[in-house]
Structure 1
Amino acid sequence: MTETVLLALDTSTEFCSVALLSAASVPASVSSSASASAPSASSASSIISAAAPVRLWVRHEATGAVSSARLLPAIRELFDEAGLPLQACQAVAFGAGPGSFTGLRTATGVAQGLAFGLGCPVVPISTLMVCAESARLRDAAATRVLVALDARMDEVYWADYAWCSVSGEWLIRHAAALDAPDQLPLPDTPFTLAGNAAGVFGSRLSVAAQARQVDHAALPHAQPLALAALRAWRAGRTLPAAQAMPDYVRNKVAQTTAERTATKAGQALARDADERSAGRGEK
């Protein structure tokens, strides 16, 4: 068996998240059935499956606005820990979005620059699909996942995914979109709600009440990104470095003063409603 080495980057949130993956090449029938552990918050190496050995080295650090300064040193550290030369990297995966505009540009730019220098392709992966992947790693029953992330400006980034056990791939039931929290459609089968929107919007995210489970911790992270990228790599879903681009989903970057005032008023009303509801439940 030969080895596949992939680098995965995500700076779509306040975290600088990097994973280095080394995987033995195996038949698709074996690799698609491999199980994995939940995302690690620190540097680690682990065997993901006995049938398809996958080792991961991870950095996932809360860096705020300085992800760009931490990203390259973190990459260097992981290659040193793994005892691999940078030239061993065969593809660079990155969280393409949606997410922080600055963060998306950071990950895209670094992935593109590394891929140019190494002469390898890039693997763009939706940050929403990464959340679905994270939810499935935590709970094998999470095969239908509605992802909802706080997009600020009183809106939600969302997408709907279904896991196909036959192909070992996520099927896109609804592509990444941007809507008000009360406008998300209800999936037609029992589903897990992944992401932080339920915690941010409370009862205004009406689909949360119908979810079989709400996974607040299923957020963009380089470990599930790397695993999703490995499947994409094996399926040939790569791009030349020159074609690396972020997927912003939203085109508008700021609200007017009136919109910000209305947003705050709506959030205050939602909090009051949640508090009153909680108070009635305690009686």
Structure 2
Amino acid sequence: MATLLALDASSSACSCAVWRDGEVISRFALTPREHTRRLMPMIDEVMAEAGLALADLDGLAYGRGPGSFTGLRIAAGVAQGLAFGLERPLFGVSTLEALALAAHRRHHLRHLVPALDARMNEIYVAAYHCHDGVLTCLMAESVIKPEYLRLPPVGNDIDWCGVGSGWTLWEAMPVPTKDGLSQRLPDLQPAADEMVRLAARAFDAGEGRPAQEVTPVYLRDQVASRRG
């Protein structure tokens, strides 16, 4: 099995995790505006605890977004630098997928709407069905105003759960969306321990790419480009 390192700085949290033969060793801290200072020491800590050197890694992963522009660039720079120097494949992992997987694994929830506060009165959002740790996308990632959020039309008897900081904008969301949710977990943050699990599956599927080909996903830039 693969040995992987994942790192994330896409939100106010900073985290990293090692995957080694199914075991995950991780660090997580809420460190707003301290990602640059905290990320490398975290990497050193998890690698030391795992008894690994960087040369032992089979691949690297990072939270590729959506999320904080600055945080995404920090994580991308570190991950790309390490992957390029080690000549290892790099995996960009969706922060929204990581949020959905976290809620599924920790709370056994199946229908998740992960959302992150995108500032400017917008949210980054997607929707997933989760079963036995496998995610199926039901609504593609997008950036929208919270008042435009609609749940995927997959049935009226679905227990949807909203996950992530985007759900702090609850008051602005439409009544049908509110009525369709059974619960919210607004405090859950993207984290590398879930990202490294997703990266392990991507590694097994041969989805790794050269470091220079993996770039952050900002969503807002993409939307602006399509409208131009």
Per the TM superposition, whether the score is higher than 0.5 is yes
Which residue of the partner structure matches residue 51 of structure 1? none
Which residue of the partner structure matches residue 76 of structure 2? 108
CA shift digits 1:210-230 (9 cap, x unpaired): 212212233201111111111
User: Highest CA radius of gyration, 1 or 2?
Assistant: 1
Letter in 2 for 1:196: S
Contact 2:101-2:130 at 8 Å conserved across structures: no
CA shift digits 1:121-166 (9 cap, x unpaired): 00111101111011101122x222111111110111100112255x
Distance (whole Å) between structure 2 residues aligned to residue 184 and residue 238 of structure 1: 33
| 2:165 is aligned with 1:196 | yes
Q: What's the offset of the Cα at 1:209? A: 3.4
Match runs of 1:28-177 below 5 Å: 54-140=22-108, 142-165=109-132, 169-177=134-142
Q: What's the offset of the Cα at 1:178? A: 0.7
| 2:181 is aligned with 1:230 | no
| 2:144 pairs with one of 179, 185, 190 | 179
TM-score normalised to structure 2 length? 0.89
Distance (whole Å) between structure 2 residues aligned to residue 4 and residue 61 of structure 1: 26
| 2:8 is aligned with 1:10 | yes
CA shift digits 1:80-99 (9 cap, x unpaired): 11111111111111100011
Distance (whole Å) between structure 2 residues aligned to residue 126 and residue 157 of structure 1: 11
Work out the percentage of aligned pairs sharing the same amino acid.
Answer: 37
Q: What's the offset of the Cα at 1:100? A: 0.6
Q: What's the offset of the Cα at 1:18? A: 0.6
Contact 1:20-1:226 at 8 Å conserved across structures: yes
Contact 1:148-1:158 at 8 Å conserved across structures: yes
Residues 138 and 164 from structure 1, CA distance in 2 versus in 1: closer, same or farther, beyond 3 angstroms?
closer
Letter in 1 for 2:165: N
Structure with the higher strand share, 1 or 2: 2
**What SS does structure 1 have at the residue aligned with 2:2?**
strand
Cα RMSD, aligned residues only = 1.6
Contact 1:17-1:60 at 8 Å conserved across structures: yes
Contact 1:132-1:218 at 8 Å conserved across structures: no
Could you tell me which runs of 5 or more consecutive residues in structure 2 were left unpaired when the two chains were aligned: 223-228
Distance (whole Å) between structure 2 residues aligned to residue 92 and residue 100 of structure 1: 20
Residues 209 and 182 from structure 1, CA distance in 2 versus in 1: closer, same or farther, beyond 3 angstroms?
same
Which residue of the partner structure matches residue 240 of structure 1? 210
Distance (whole Å) between structure 1 residues aligned to residue 217 and residue 33 of structure 2: 20
Letter in 2 for 1:6: L
Runs of 4+ more than 3 Å apart: none
TM-score normalised to structure 1 length? 0.72
Contact 1:197-1:205 at 8 Å conserved across structures: no
Letter in 1 for 2:68: S
Distance (whole Å) between structure 1 residues aligned to residue 179 and residue 187 of structure 2: 17
Could you tell me which runs of 5 or more consecutive residues in structure 1 were left unpaired when the two chains were aligned: 24-53, 253-283
Distance (whole Å) between structure 1 residues aligned to residue 205 and residue 188 of structure 2: 25
